[in-house]
Amino acid sequence: MEFQKRLEEVAKSLGAFYFGVADLSLTRGGALTPYEKRLTSEYPSAISIGVSLFPETVNRIEDPDDIPGLRNYWFHVYKMISPLVDQITSQLTFIIMGEGYRALPIPCTQTLDTENFRGLFSNKLAASLAGLGWIGKSCLLITPDRGPRIRWGTILTDAPLHPGKPVEERCGKCVMCVDACPAGAFTGRNFLPSEPREKRMRAERCNEFLREHERKIGSRVCGMCVYICPFGKTRSRKS
């Protein structure tokens, strides 16, 4: 526990808002990609860290005609917060390696499979297994206090760590993210570990919308599923 506490203290000193550990044996029977299955066979645990987006930056994207606000949101997410997440996971990886354990950092923003729009390993899955939130109908990780207004990073490791426990989803019958999606990408189904992502999201629709937006305004950006979630909006009004 002392080693895990040290990692958490370092992560939060560097800017992390969330820190958790996932037991990757819980993925057995889940709808993983072949590469994810390979990774979970090699690494028993995943460290999940999350950094909050600035509420006011997210709030600016309410108006789809506010082009400066949308471009600012893109810059904030991909040029400010995502690199910070990767810096934190990199620092923790060096510490874990220094103790003689294996550690594989997963980038915050990753699309390695451009045909199916997937990364090396799902950061959201790791965060949900660590008990930091649940996967909503938008396929985003929803936290109780900030909703989906978080960027996530992951470290797969064989270090001896104590995992958290997954929490129950709290979206209920809410479909605000489904209705707000301009691409019509979400089916409205609740997350089930045994079902592939395609049951909940048509990623190609999201990708096509972002490509069209990039042609129109010069930024590959939307963010409505992040903005509209009641959990995140409740938090921002109290901030």
Supply the DSSP symbol for 19.
E
pLDDT at 113: 66
For the chain, which residues make up each domain, given as ranges? 2-238
pLDDT in tens, 77-96: 999 999 999 999 999 999 99
pLDDT tens, the chain, 239 aa long: 899 999 999 999 999 999 999 999 999 888 898 889 999 999 999 999 999 999 999 999 999 889 999 999 999 999 999 999 999 999 999 999 999 999 999 999 877 666 666 788 999 999 999 999 999 999 999 999 999 999 999 999 999 999 999 999 999 999 999 999 999 999 999 999 999 899 999 999 999 999 998 998 899 999 999 999 999 886 444 44
Query: Which is nearest to 56 in space by CA: 41, 45, 69, 39?
Result: 69
* Sequence-ordered list of residues with C-beta below 8 angstroms from that of 202, at least 6 positions apart, any chain: 184, 185, 186, 187
pLDDT at 116: 64
Using alpha carbons, list the distances in angstroms from residue 110 to 16, 153, 154.
Answer: 19, 10, 12
The distance from CA 231 to its chain's CA centroid, rounded to whole angstroms, is: 15
pLDDT at 233: 82
Question: Amino acid letter at 40?
Answer: T
Rounded to whole angstroms, the maximal C-alpha distance in the chain is 52
pLDDT at 1: 83
- The string of DSSP letters for 139-182 reads SSEEBTTTBT-EEEEEEEE-S------------TT--HHHHH-T
pLDDT at 108: 93
Structure tokens at 195: 């079902």
| Whether the Cβ atoms of residue 158 and residue 45 lie closer than 8 Å to each other | yes
pLDDT at 238: 47
Q: How far apart are CA 236 and CA 239, in angstroms?
A: 5
